[in-house]
Structure 1
Amino acid sequence: MPLLSSMLAALSRYRAALRNVHWEREIRLWSGLVLFAFVTMHLLNHAIGVLGVPTMEAVQHWRVFIWRSWPGTVALYGAAALHVGLTLKRIALRTPCRMPIEEGLQIVLGLAIPALVLEHALNTRYGSSILSTDDSYTAVLTRIYPNQIAWQTILVLVAWFHGIIGIHYVVRHKPWFERVREIGFALAFSIPLLAIAGFLAAGREAASTVHSEIALAPEQVTGLQQVVEISYQLLIAGGLLIVGALVATEVARSWRGTVPVRYVGHGETALRPGASLLDASRQNRIPHPSLCGGRGRCATCRVLVLSGLETLPEPTYSERMVLSRISAPKNVRLACQIRPKQPIAVQILLPTIARDAGLDWEEEAYKWGVDRNVSILFVDIRAFTSLSKKQLPHDTVLLINRFLGEIAQAVEAHGGRIGMFLSDGVMAIFGLGGQRGMGARNALAAGHAILRAARMLDDELGSALPLPFRVGIGIHCGSAVIARVGDDERGYVITALGETISIASRLEQATKELLADMLVSEAVVQAAGTKPPGSVLREVPMRGHDQPIRAYAYSEAFSEVRPAAQAETQPEAIP
């Protein structure tokens, strides 16, 4: 009985979760992915045209087998109907407002697709199925090349980039997006260009050969012309009907009056009933970030509801999941998901960062802060205060700049990034590129390189220094918030925030207490699969932790027994 009760309770929770899922959004996404898969396969088939028309037709056989089977046909046309219908509904529900350029471009491209693809679809699928026309590549290319080169090129670009923009909105806030951004960018532009090149090459090949046997019969030409004409008339009528419905919806909204919305720092504005809070912000030119384009997949548009929270409907399951990831309190909601019907007061929680700040793509990925599993390295010059007191300011600056240059080179050579320059040290971040083991191996290698650089500087400048030149290094790995901090006037830097950074800093400080050159946390050793040679496991007390941090203490005294190069190339494996 207890087992049955637990199973029934789990089933009840599952059914409740299904009821709360934002089904329209998910169906619109997955139907769009089905259509995008069809377009991708079509363009790849075009790209093979550079190898010749026979090769294109060999691949076409398998593509047609997939999409003209009963499952493929149902999936394709069902996805088209669902995607178009739900997208039109989404457009109808939103009020006319200002929106980001890429979002408006996606809508325009999507609305242009039916007009561009209609004749091509009828000449191929309808013609072959109903009028028994030949829709092989040889036949189709002979009929459309070269008269429809521009039309086909526009169709390829419009359909492809409509899908690319939508996918970008969905994945741009994902933790793994940074790892695939460059290859995704390359594919996004190379696939349509290769498809156009294949179409042109195959078109020239088909046009150079006379194919009298594939010419359309007069009754086939007449049948295609009639169905194309009727279809365009229906498309125009449908477009006018949709425009009329949108106008009627807007008129009905105007009759219902407006809902007052007060923004902290922006005064009071009016919102049309049925519009989202994000729409109101855009309509009134209030800066309001939205990384996913108002699809409820990120939390960048979140607001603090100061009054009127009780008048809002409960958040959907999807909204709750997004807010729970950031541990948001109950009075924080997503502006793209709430449609106030009563007066409300809100505060936008995240700032909008200007597009013209001169930032590169890599920094743009971190402008809102993202969770990453990384390795953090802290390095600090030992006894720097005593060292600087016994030197002239000029000599101190030269020493610091020389050492910081060596550190930066060691960090960047091992795939790391300087996250912060301290007065006499550096914080470095490893694993931003999604390397295995959170970049722990690279952090260890960089730590050894920094110790070598410090030893080299001591050998080179030791006679001119009042104290031996020594450094302490602390390395820890784990989850951290990687963010771009700063402002337009003074510039931005990428840095790391969170407990992982505090632990790495504490380990660096503990090198003085334990008389070690480098302290590497047990988590780093486990992630890297190796530990510094000759290191000893120690425990480091950490404020706010019930248990001490276990770390391996490494000292370069070990290198006197075994050469440094040998020690680094033959690390000891974890027992």
Structure 2
Amino acid sequence: MLHQLRRLRQFDWPGRAAVAAVRRVTSRDLRLFSGLAIGGFILCHFLNHALGLISVDAMEAARPFLSGPWRSPPGTGLLYGSVAVHFVLTLRALYLRHSLRMPAREAAQTALGLVLPFLLIGHVVGTRIEFAATGIEATYPDIVANFWVRNPVAGGRQVVALLIAWLHFCLGLFFWLRTKPGFPAWRPTLFAVALLVPVLSVLGFAEAGKELANRAGPLPERTTHAPEWVDTVLALGLAVPLALVVAARGARGIYRRRDRVRIAYPDGRTIEIPRGFSILEASRSARIPHQAVCGGRARCSTCRIEIVHGFHGQPHPGEPERATLQRIGAGPRVRLACQFRPSRDVGIVPLVHPAAAASVALESGRLRSYGEEREIVVLFCDIRGFTSLAEHRLPYDVVFILNRYVELVGRAVTGNGGAVDKFVGDGAMALFGLSSPAPQAAQQGLAAAERILADLAELNETLGRELREPLRVAIALHQGPAIVGEVGYGTVASLTAVGDTINVASRLEGLAKAADAELAVSDTVMQSAGLSPGGFETKVLPVRGRSRSLKVWLRQSRDG
């Protein structure tokens, strides 16, 4: 009998896989799916409005295809179910968040998600509820006439509500996509679409309104309004649960004041937090910078920390945290700060520097601590004759000049898609190709070098009276395979590269100095970038430590 029961339990009955899949759906997945559904509705709405640039009739002709599916029973269920689920999950996230201190983008997304349903009440009543009550479907000539000619103030409110809804959708989409490897390449295109869609929509609606206002004859008849109390009931239906969540947060804060744990940071700071706070919330509540590219959703691993003491007796990782830690090959003492809620005193070390650029922070998670081989472009830059310059200046002046130089190099590198590996004195090393193909990395490296030289010329002009002679640099670029990975410990861990490619790039910088050149580029970089620029001379030079000579493109110093 027991044997038969076990066989029955193992039997793959129809729908068993579907039930298992449903069980694996998390609140994060539901929030994402519902947000995408709402975003799809807004996009269709905006595209329909944009057709007003052609005519009101074009808007009406496209309505069955763009708005019609959302008015069908399945579409209506999907839309309003998504709105309800998204609002409830936003309230849940607000309750679970122990600290309201967060980056501006996250705060904006949360605030917009709470305000948006209130702003859309008028639109829902004026279109959906009236249609359900009267059976009369509002056409675009009727809608435009109501919101542009008869009541432009109400029309303006609806436009603002839709723009806020679009902004909320775009922020959510950004937080989701920014952790994807291909996002940097698509980011400019997506940004252009995110900007153009609402602009074209507003312009289309305005043109349609002007067209109706200039038409001869009476305007389309106005549809019957739903009772005014409907707006109030809907507003109360949203306000009451929001008020309950706020009250519950306050009561929880009072209850937990006595139950606290201590968090020790590597710089000697120790803070006390109520039990139940995550490490990320603890850092933010104490205004301690902490990297978290995905906003604390267990997607990116950039908030990861290592537990240095107090490891035993802590809660185990949940499924989302475990999956992310396995993806990056993390050790047993590594946890995600956004998910780890210590139950006892703990000492931690953040493993990603809080000032790291988002792209670099993400790559440090993907390029695991044991490293990966990549085709990269390495840039070396060094101030020529800086030692003699520093000997004749006060320490304050030396630091001031160095900081200005470091700033312009860092700005040039990151502005062209690279990552600064390190600054050593007046020398800098940067990497290109961590998240881009080799040809693009070569172009980025060359563009960064040109910007360094241009910005240095401006700096020399600014500091002309304070310098005996202009600052001059030697820049070298080389491309090839290298082992890229995160090296170091705690806050001094950073993404770096090792291998022959780095050695050759360093030697090229020395050759540039010896040849009195401002820029030395290996032929590998030029070939990869597909360039053959003027102003360079090519030489085949021996490189110390290599048996074969290297073809190098040299450009002499402009003031040399």
TM-score bracket, normalised by the shorter chain, equals 0.5 to 0.7
**Residue 118 of structure 1 pairs with residue 121 of structure 2:** yes
Amino acid at match of 1:239: A
Q: Structure 2: any 5+ residue segments left out of the alignment?
A: 1-9, 11-16, 368-373, 382-408, 449-474, 509-519, 531-544, 553-560
Aligned-residue offset at 1:268? 3.8
Alignment check: 8 A CA contact 1:173 1:298 kept: yes
Aligned-residue offset at 1:269? 3.1
Q: Deviations over 1:186-226 (max 9, x none)?
A: 33333222221111111121233367584246xx33xx1x1
Amino acid at match of 1:46: H
Which secondary structure does the structure 1 equivalent of 2:330 belong to?
A: coil
Q: Which residue of 1 aligns with 2:158?
A: 152
Pick from 465, 476, 479 the counterpart of residue 475 of structure 1.
Answer: 479
Aligned-residue offset at 1:159? 0.7
Q: Which residue of 1 aligns with 2:232?
A: 232
Pair 423,376 (structure 1): closer, same or farther in 2 beyond 3 Å? farther
RMSD: 5.1
Pick from 105, 127, 130 the counterpart of residue 127 of structure 1.
Answer: 130
Pair 312,250 (structure 1): closer, same or farther in 2 beyond 3 Å? farther
Q: Deviations over 1:295-315 (max 9, x none)?
A: 111222222223343333321
Alignment check: 8 A CA contact 2:179 2:362 kept: no
Amino acid at match of 1:503: D
Aligned-residue offset at 1:60? 1.8
Q: Which has the larger radius of gyration?
A: 1
With normalisation by structure 2, the TM-score equals 0.66
Aligned-residue offset at 1:53? 1.0
Q: Distance in 1 between matches of 2:432 and 2:346?
A: 44
Alignment check: 8 A CA contact 1:67 1:73 kept: yes
Alignment check: 8 A CA contact 1:278 1:336 kept: yes
Q: Distance in 2 between matches of 1:301 and 1:417?
A: 21
Pick from 98, 103, 106 the counterpart of residue 106 of structure 2.
Answer: 103
Q: Distance in 1 between matches of 2:312 and 2:19?
A: 22
4+ residue runs over 4 A deviation: 14-22, 210-213, 367-374, 377-380, 415-433, 435-444, 471-474, 506-511, 517-521, 524-529, 551-556
Alignment check: 8 A CA contact 1:519 1:553 kept: no
Aligned-residue offset at 1:526? 13
Deviates more, 1:363-372 or 1:268-277: 363-372
Aligned-residue offset at 1:235? 2.4
Q: Which residue of 2 aligns with 1:538?
A: none
Q: Distance in 2 between matches of 1:275 and 1:206?
A: 57
Aligned 1:11-30 pairs, distance under 5 A: 23-30=26-33
Which secondary structure does the structure 2 equivalent of 1:135 belong to?
A: coil
Aligned 1:247-258 pairs, distance under 5 A: 247-256=247-256, 257-258=258-259
Q: Deviations over 1:379-438 (max 9, x none)?
A: 99xxxxxxxxxxxxxxxxxxxxxxxxxxx9xx99xx997968999999775546834766
Pair 331,481 (structure 1): closer, same or farther in 2 beyond 3 Å? closer
Q: Deviations over 1:476-531 (max 9, x none)?
A: 14674699xxx9xxxxxxx97224xx1313567999xxxxx99999xx999999xx
Aligned 1:324-403 pairs, distance under 5 A: 324-353=326-355, 365-366=359-360, 370=364, 374-376=375-377
Aligned-residue offset at 1:140? 0.6
* Seq. identity, %: 29
Aligned-residue offset at 1:374? 4.3
Q: Structure 1: any 5+ residue segments left out of the alignment?
A: 1-7, 9-13, 355-362, 381-407, 447-470, 488-494, 512-516, 530-540, 543-550, 557-575
**Residue 162 of structure 1 pairs with residue 163 of structure 2:** no
Q: Which residue of 1 aligns with 2:188?
A: 182
Q: Distance in 2 between matches of 1:206 and 1:335?
A: 56
Q: Deviations over 1:259-297 (max 9, x none)?
A: 212222364433334332322222233332322211111
Alignment check: 8 A CA contact 1:366 1:482 kept: no
Amino acid at match of 2:354: T
Alignment check: 8 A CA contact 1:303 1:332 kept: yes
Aligned-residue offset at 1:241? 3.6
Q: Distance in 2 between matches of 1:85 and 1:327?
A: 34
With normalisation by structure 1, the TM-score equals 0.64
Aligned-residue offset at 1:319? 1.4
Aligned-residue offset at 1:96? 4.4
Aligned residues: 457
Q: Distance in 2 between matches of 1:15 and 1:184?
A: 33
Alignment check: 8 A CA contact 2:125 2:230 kept: no
